[in-house]
Structure 1
Amino acid sequence: MQFKFTCLSLLLFSSAILSYGYVFDCLDDCECDTDDEVIHCHNKPNRDRLQLPQTRLRGFTVLGLTKNNIKVLPSQELLKEKFPDLVAIDIEGNKNFDCSTLEDQYTKIAVLSDCGKEVPLPDNVTVVETVGPPTPECDLKCQSRRHYDSMHEYFLRLWELIKQKLAELTKQSQFFRDLQDFFTEVGKRISEA
């Protein structure tokens, strides 16, 4: 009986996830979302560095690393080598991050951080909901939907923050115009979905 329940739970979970997008486990306890092109690596206080893939991981434009314990990021060159399509990283909520490592280092990747902010990301903010155990109010399919919806909402919020950051940049290099065009196109795609 337990085996049937476990199989049924896995089937429901898989169908719920697949019906809302293709999300799979990747890297070090992260989730790769192919619909939004985001790698989600959130809410792991014991994660102090980004585990890089052994081979290139293409097709992901955003890397979300919020609410971990990351102190430094790999070099821009190494990040672009391992994630060739990467255009933005969110490291908000990493209290021990060394902000001095960002100065003039990342010119091809937009980095969102708490560095220089008067109010950092609050501790009580959950960036992406985790899949919890089923409850009478919210079964496994409901839990999966909440999780996927929170990942999508995170992407939309991040997209708005990146647009704001790009608008603040006074230097309009070709890279930033291309980046702006990319996010405008992503916004259109999301609006049409």
Structure 2
Amino acid sequence: QTPQRFIKKLYLIIDNNPSPVAAVFEFPGDRAWHSIATRIRVNAYTDVRAVVELSNGEIYMTGNFVKASGGCSAPALKDPAAAAAQLGRMKLILPPEDGADDLLLARLMVRHPNSSGLQFDQISRNFIPADYVQSIEVSYKGAPLYKVATDISISENPSITFGFIPDPGDATLVARVTDSQGRQFEQRFPVASSP
């Protein structure tokens, strides 16, 4: 990527999911990045696609067929009361300083049940209402790093790993999360990088 030609948007699409557009990532283009990863729900055998839109309007797509099913209607792994107590808590996992290269793989984890509205409560015999993360905005040193609009196709307790080259010295990474119920969560993380 160059300042003149960079990935502006990345669409993560799961063809056979009830909500096929799992995430739309947006990048400001003023910082080089290397990779991005997240966890998804897959409801039935399907193609999973990544579509990128470049700053010059070009569009590229890649995809893979995935054999998995039931992810959108699978019950939550945690007890609802325990999940509610942890709601909105965030953690940033940074690799140990090894000096191998300048790339920083920052993994942001958000505690949220990400209920799809398709999960069935075996005790109440009702569907659990949809309650999921809708957006995550991450900034570094006061400037936007990326933002992502998400949907029910992102897994419980969303996690995004973003590889970028940080500036030397100490800085702050800020994560802001908004969910479908209008709740907002924010957390600041110190990020140190060798000069």
TM-score of the two chains, using structure 2 as the length reference: 0.24
TM-score of the two chains, using structure 1 as the length reference: 0.24
Higher RCO by CA contacts (8 Å cutoff, separation 6 or greater): 2
Greater percentage in helix: 1
Greater percentage in strand: 2
